[in-house]
Structure 1
Amino acid sequence: MKKKTEAKRQTILDVAAQAFRELGFEGTSMSEICTRVGGSKATLYNYFPSKEELFSEVMFLSSEAEFAAAHDAIDPTTEDIADSLRHFGEKFLTFLYSPNIRAQRHLAISQSGRTELGRLVYERGVLRSENLMAEFLQTAMNRGKLRQAAPKVATRHLYSLLESELLERFLFQILGEVGADEIKAVTARAIEVFMAAYGPPPAEDSQPEPVRQPPAGATPQ
């Protein structure tokens, strides 16, 4: 029975993905999907309680491999935190500013406040990514590779820095294609600022020695 249930769910997802590609999010209704799948509306809603839930599942399944690849770049055992963060940042921005994900983000933003799509994308995408990064930063802090701070706050600062040169143009839809060279440069500048703020404090033995005062009455050289 479980196999049959999973097969039915996958059929719904496949049919819905095709409908969304052809008609767009707003042009696709649950009735349309139900007609294409066959069966009752009650069965469809039993699997997915809303069009937003169904669309978000289709969306995340289509981008899961790229999402995982970007976050697999986070190496908690690394000795060079800045290099690991640069590696992640380049993969993350490449994912985030790919044509498909850009379109999905614009759609989610446009639907925020009108439907549940914005909340679903935020919870399943943004928060999921932030939680993974916060765990990495906490580990780095515990190992003395970064200064102690609130990992969730540090994560938001990191993500804000990574997008700082791109986000406004993205939101106003005046951002052209973002190439690999630009992503590399943007990431390098972001990580430089992040490490300046969150890098580990200098070791005590690297502190300059105090200036020795000459004995009283000695003639200055």
Structure 2
Amino acid sequence: MSRRRRSARSDSSPNYQAKRQELLRTAAEVFREKGFEGATLNDIAERFGTDRASIYYYFASKKELFQALFHDILVDVLDNNIAVAEEIIGSDEDAPEKLRRLVEQQMDSYEKNYPFVYLYIQEDMAQLQLDSMSWGKDMARKTKRFETIVLEVLQQGVDDGTLRSDVSVQLMSKALFGMVNWTHRWLRPGMRKVDAKQSTEAFCTLFLDGARVES
């Protein structure tokens, strides 16, 4: 099996790559529903419509499959999110508008990259062994950069008087991320009653009505 897997890894054919991506998406859905600890390769194989032995053609273990979800997919997602966030913070807009755009960008990313980003939040990077994998450390660094951008925008708002100064920017940041990231527990693409756009509007109204300085 290991020889077969090594051969498969060098296979760049469209069919192999398409199957591998399909398997990753299927696995993400199973991990999303059952968590890393609760999900098994048998669960993933059954959902994928194959047997457990066929999974080993692509990945050596459940952990390797799980880590591939982040390494193969989410690194690019985080890069794009950071690029957009850097553009937002560099704009001439006021802090409340920058915050609105940052929330909009995050919610849009969650929806477009479902369930991968939500899985990233749900599992809290616990299985990535950041101390031993350079790409995992890079992902943590990118996540930290996005959080720093939000803090910088909040501080800008406090400094220019558009946001209240009696609440620390750290606490405001935690409140904002808590509200946005908690959507991993309930928001699904295609929901009839609420979608990412409606959530963005509601979150921004609730947060900014409390954080903005009254004129």
Which TM-score band (shorter chain)? 0.5 to 0.7
Q: How much has 1:93 moved relative to structure 2?
A: 0.5
Q: How much has 1:83 moved relative to structure 2?
A: 3.0
Partner of 1:87: 101
1:35-54 map, 5 Å = none
SS in 2 for 1:146: coil
Q: How much has 1:56 moved relative to structure 2?
A: 3.8
Aligned equivalents of 2:195, 2:22: Cα separation in 1: 33
Partner of 2:148: 131
1:130–1:156 CA contact under 8 A, matched in 2: no
1:150-169 map, 5 Å = 150-163=168-181, 166-169=183-186
Identical residues among aligned pairs (%): 14
- Scaled by the length of structure 2, the TM-score of the pair is 0.55
- Scaled by the length of structure 1, the TM-score of the pair is 0.53
2:197 aligned with 1:184: yes
- Does the C-alpha gap of structure 1 residues 160 and 129 become closer, same or farther in structure 2, counting only changes over 3 Å? same
Tell me the amino acid that sits aligned with residue 199 of structure 2. V
Aligned equivalents of 2:124, 2:197: Cα separation in 1: 31
Count the aligned residue pairs.
163
Aligned equivalents of 2:186, 2:121: Cα separation in 1: 17
2:104–2:197 CA contact under 8 A, matched in 1: yes
Q: How much has 1:55 moved relative to structure 2?
A: 5.9
SS in 1 for 2:76: helix
1:70–1:92 CA contact under 8 A, matched in 2: no
SS in 1 for 2:92: coil
Structure 2, gaps ≥5 residues long? 1-9, 28-40, 42-54
Structure 1, gaps ≥5 residues long? 1-11, 32-49, 203-221
1:108–1:118 CA contact under 8 A, matched in 2: no
Partner of 2:162: 145
1:76–1:139 CA contact under 8 A, matched in 2: no
Tell me the amino acid that sits aligned with residue 128 of structure 2. E
Bigger CA radius of gyration: 1
Partner of 1:213: none
Aligned equivalents of 1:187, 1:23: Cα separation in 2: 31
- Does the C-alpha gap of structure 1 residues 82 and 95 become closer, same or farther in structure 2, counting only changes over 3 Å? same
The one of 63, 69, 79 equivalent to 2:77 is 63
Higher relative contact order (CA 8 A, sep 6+): 2
2:213 aligned with 1:200: yes
Tell me the amino acid that sits aligned with residue 81 of structure 2. F
2:82–2:146 CA contact under 8 A, matched in 1: no
Q: How much has 1:178 moved relative to structure 2?
A: 5.9
The one of 78, 81, 98 equivalent to 2:93 is 78
